[in-house]
Structure 1
Amino acid sequence: MPKPLRKAVLPVAGLGTRFLPATKAIAKEMLPVVDKPLIQYAIEEARAAGIEQFCMVTGRGKTALVEHFDIAFELEATLRERGKTEALAALSVTSVEPGSMVTVRQQVPLGLGHAIWCARAFIGDDPFAIMLPDDLVLSDTPCLKQLADAYAQTGGNVVAVVEVPPEQTNRYGILRTGADDGRLVEVTGLVEKPAPADAPSNLSIIGRYVLMPEVIGELARMERGAGGEVQLTDGMAGLIGRQPFHGLRYEGRRFDCGDKVGFLEAQLAFALRRPDLAPAVRAFLKDYC
């Protein structure tokens, strides 16, 4: 039986330059979709998958990410005095168990693989999840829970995958595939951002992973890949053939919230899933569409 999945690493050291000037003084992961910041969606998704320990890989100017999950005594006391029970309930989901969240500094922008290597002491000898908060998935069963269930079935490494237009393969990590049952696909190779003519498939990895700790040994080589960075894709490729490795076609709709259009689309999609907001949103959309 696979070792229980209890840890998650969230790489959040990026500068968010595509959202300037909004991200000049605010971490991009604190940008809200409707009324919750992206980082909170990620933590709630992780909890739904049984994750108990969290590590944020941060950089300068990211302290608000940690503050968001701390207890705000003054704010809670004021809300309690004023009888703001709904607001108190909204705050309650932002706190985590004492000692369950740690941070490490990446310090230098050497890529996603380097960010994960920075969390090596937290990972230790345990399987762990990676969540990129920019990727927001709207689904009935949280995306990471789907991966955790697949991991419990297959063991080894499991990554969330989606089909992308062939002409867009140069934007993603792409799978070379083996056996495929329509949902779980065997991974026989990984290529980071291949040109469309060189892509082995159009199955792309999105920002949800369950990986074995041995990937840290691969990343420790500090070999530079695409873009001159230490690529997580290259580190994962070193595990293929040594451990089970599968891609999961997850159920749900993914929004790239690192892109302005994707971020705006997520606002609408998540608002329309809210009974308290959907009627008003549909009404005002008629004025624009």
Structure 2
Amino acid sequence: MSKRVRKAVFPVAGLGTRFLPATKSVPKEMLTVVDRPILQHVVEEAYEAGIEHCIFVTGRNKAVIEDYFDMAYELEDILLKRGKTKEWQALKADLPKPGAMSFTRQQAPLGLGHAVWCARDIVGDEPFAVVLPDMLTMPRKTGGKRCLAQCVEAFETHGGNVIAVEEVKPEETHKYGVVSVGDKSDSTFEITGMVEKPPQGTAQSNFIISGRYILSPEIFSILERGEKGSGGEIQLTDGMKTLAHDQKFRGVNFDGQTYDCGSSLGFLGANVAFALASPDIAPEFRALVKSLLNAPQD
């Protein structure tokens, strides 16, 4: 029987150049969607999927991420002294268990595959998840499972390796990693091929890799070779293509919506979607959006 997926790797070493100047001093993963950083949202998704240990692959000027998941003695003391019990309880609720988070450095920006490889010693010899923090997911139905939970469920059913995918317009496939679709089973399908950012008009399908993976530890020995692909970087997709020669891959077409917070439109869309899903502010926010849409245009 396959081992359970207990650990998740979060590659957070990127520079966030598409959000300059905001990311000059604030990591892009710490930009807020409604009331919490993007990274907090994806960590919560990991916990919901049963992940017990979060591994962050960081870079220079990302120390604030480690601080965020630590105690803030002065702030907590002030909140208690001022009687802000609700806010204090919220901070304590988000605090991870001791030893449940690890941090390691990717000293040079050599690609996603290299970032994942940097976590090899912490992951060890067991299947693990990879969660791209730029991608925020929301289930289609209220109370439904988010993307990583659906991937873990597919892994527990089929074993092997699992990749979350979603459909895009055919003219957009050249921007992403794309998979080829084989035999379907329940809500998943066999992946028969992968390519990173294919030239426009050459993709075998319109299913793109959408930022959630369950991988076997054998991927590390492949990534260790340091073979460079698209953009002169060590690509995770290339490593998975090699692994697919010996192991099966399945695609999970996520039943929900994914927001790419690495782009301005995706980030704004995530804020709107999560605000409308928050019962505390949704009614007033919906009215605000309607008033903005109905305002006279110059």
Residues 1:147 and 2:118 aligned together: no
Mapped partners of 1:168, 1:221: distance in 2: 31
- Give the counterpart of 2:214 among 210, 213, 216: 210
So what's the TM-score if we normalise by structure 2?
A: 0.94
Mapped partners of 1:89, 1:263: distance in 2: 28
Kept in 2, the 8 Å contact 1:219–1:235? The answer is yes
Q: CA offsets per residue over residues 111-136 of structure 1, 9 Å max, x none? A: 10010111111121111000111100
- How many residue pairs get aligned? The number is 289
Q: How does 1:186-265 map to 2 (within 5 A)?
A: 186-265=190-269
Quote the residue 1:52 is aligned against.
52
Runs of 4+ in 1 over 3 A off after TM superposition: none
RMSD (Å), alpha carbons: 1.1
Mapped partners of 1:176, 1:142: distance in 2: 23
Local SS of the residue matching 1:222: coil
Q: Aligned-pair distance for 1:182?
A: 6.2
Local SS of the residue matching 2:280: coil
Quote the residue 1:161 is aligned against.
165
* AA at the equivalent of 2:258: R
* AA at the equivalent of 2:154: A
Kept in 2, the 8 Å contact 1:58–1:103? The answer is yes
* AA at the equivalent of 1:89: Q
Quote the residue 2:3 is aligned against.
3
Mapped partners of 2:180, 2:281: distance in 1: 42
Local SS of the residue matching 2:225: coil
Kept in 2, the 8 Å contact 1:154–1:244? The answer is no
Residues 1:110 and 2:114 aligned together: no
Quote the residue 2:296 is aligned against.
none
So what's the TM-score if we normalise by structure 1?
A: 0.97
Q: Aligned-pair distance for 1:89?
A: 2.4
Structure 1, unaligned runs of 5 or more: none
Mapped partners of 2:132, 2:20: distance in 1: 19
Q: CA offsets per residue over residues 189-219 of structure 1, 9 Å max, x none? A: 1100112322111111111111000011111
Quote the residue 2:34 is aligned against.
34
Quote the residue 1:84 is aligned against.
84
Structure 2, unaligned runs of 5 or more: 294-298
Residues 1:22 and 2:26 aligned together: no
Kept in 2, the 8 Å contact 1:68–1:94? The answer is no
Quote the residue 1:61 is aligned against.
61
Percentage identity across aligned positions? 52
